[in-house]
Amino acid sequence: MRDLVYPPVIAFAKTAFTVLDLKIRRTGTEHVPRTGGALVAINHISYVDFILGGFGALPAKRLVRFMAKEVLFRNKYSGPLMRGMHHIPVDREAGAASYRTAVEYLRAGELVGVFPEATISRSFELKEFKSGTVRMAAEAGVPILPMILWGTQRMFTKDHPRDFTRHRPISISIGAPITVTADDDPAEATARLRSTMAGMLDESIRAYPEQPPGAWWLPAAYGGSAPTPAEAERLDREELAERAERRRRP
């Protein structure tokens, strides 16, 4: 797979990180395979997660092909970049095609990035996972690499303005590969993956150098003022209802 677009995009991102003086801490990068396919499962707390998630694989000199909303590929600005980096468009009403493409990429030895929660978590804790992650890994015969990002929500997330303040700490944690097979029950394997990532998220939050009580970006369970998972679920339902209403309008 020829990559004429990805390298300059990475160079631009690195320059932006330097200008912002992000304090990026990467752990577990030794788990990223130097060759061969793997499915990178990432928690979703920010609109910039795909940028920082890809950054986590760079020490292994690997590029991550992300499964992303199809609308990004139709945008006149992001579309050429998404296609040029060989990311995978996901149409939620016709997901079979993107699923097949992801499996083909994995079998061809690529790293594919997925967000098992599908959408950004307003609570910044893990939402319920879709089973597609473990099903893809089992079908392609590749391991799952759990990855946890923390701090990215402070930059750009739902319900809050963008804030690219300099010197911000960012945590990227990669866990040991998880093997799933066609014999595994998808629901049980998905629960196992979520439990593993929940433990990693707890470690990342507790190790984060800033813990201001009442901070909007800190989960309620850790003393922050972010919505609880139940409140976040209600907000998600209201958002979906508003979108449906807008589609119905002439």
Three-state DSSP state, 201: helix
Coil, strand or helix at 62: coil
Rounded Cα distance between 248 and 83, Å, is: 31
Q: What integer is the mean pLDDT of 156-163?
A: 97
Asked whether residue 160 carries a pLDDT value surpassing 90, the answer given is: yes
- Yes or no: say if 91 and 137 are a contact pair by the CB < 8 Å rule: no
User: For position 227, what pLDDT does the model report?
Assistant: 98
247: burial class by Cβ within 10 Å (0-12, 13-18, 19+)? exposed
- Which domains are assigned to the chain? 6-248 (3.40.1130)
- Answer yes or no: is pLDDT of 250 > 90: no
pLDDT in tens, 85-137: 999 999 876 678 999 999 999 999 999 999 999 999 999 999 999 999 999 99
Are 38 and 44 contacting, i.e. CB atoms less than 8 angstroms apart? no
Q: What is the pLDDT of residues 52-96, one digit of tens each?
A: 999 999 999 999 999 999 999 999 999 999 999 999 999 876 678
* Span 3-30, pLDDT tens digits: 999 999 999 999 999 999 999 999 999 9
**Burial label, 180 (beta-carbon count in 10 A; 0-12, 13-18, 19+):** buried
**Mean pLDDT, the chain, as a whole number?**
95
